[in-house]
Structure 1
Amino acid sequence: MNRMSDTQLMAERLESLKAGMIGGFSLGVTWLITNLVNTLILARYFDMLASLQVTLHWYLLVSWAIASFSGLLFGVTYRYIIRQDQNLPLKAGGVMAFGLVRGLAQIEFNWSLAGAVLAGESVLSFIVAAIALDQAIQVGWVKPFPSI
């Protein structure tokens, strides 16, 4: 079995932390943008989506923190999922797994058109995070996890 040295292990952990930070940041920004679109456009012009209207409240900060933490977990996991492969179904599967888990939980909570919009936003958010991570790996900001 090929064991990593302590230095290699720490380097891999730092790369995973960088991937997590990129994932968390990109999901947090995407969450902010989608909530602005919900409040300023969808909730205002479509009566069926009025429940998407958000106001400044502590709940909003908690929701943003949860989205960002989900992005951090996604970033770390995505780095291990894709490794050095260019396997598109593997990448899409990782994105859809995270997006659907988060999105379907929102639908279960709110069986309406608004729930479906939120589920779609969840998948979109993880797609944005995956694109950001792929770009970070491509330009060398994050090193891919080595394949076995």
Structure 2
Amino acid sequence: MGLVYFALLGSLELRVAGAPVALGGERQRKLLALLLLNAGSVLPYDRLVDELWEDPPPTARRQVANAATGVRRVIGQRLVTTPHGYLVRLGDDRLDLADFRDLVRTRRPSRRRWRRSCWAPHSACGVGRCWTASTLR
């Protein structure tokens, strides 16, 4: 797999050479979205369980591991397993959220213009859970 473009703003999407790549089921999509929101940082197993379920089943940690296996099938070695959790290493890959953050840092748009032009009333990543604007900073 060559360079990958990950899109989180709007619907979760993954593209290689401009072509969309099929993602797994809802839990895999949510796990990938969480990891991309925190790219380069380890997300502990307990936090992933808390984020993926309101009332976690007894098998939640195993289900996270199964979802991670599915994510790894799609993104390969970009998904790293650590003794404490998982992380995504982007390397030379692109993430629309990181591009957006860089644009905001360099252009410094007014808050009013930002709210008018960029804010959408749906959840980031389109995976059914809304993250606050502070998560996206």
- Flag the structure with higher helix content: 1
Which structure: larger Rg?
Answer: 1
Task: State the TM-score, normalizing by the size of structure 2.
Answer: 0.34
- Flag the structure with higher strand content: 2
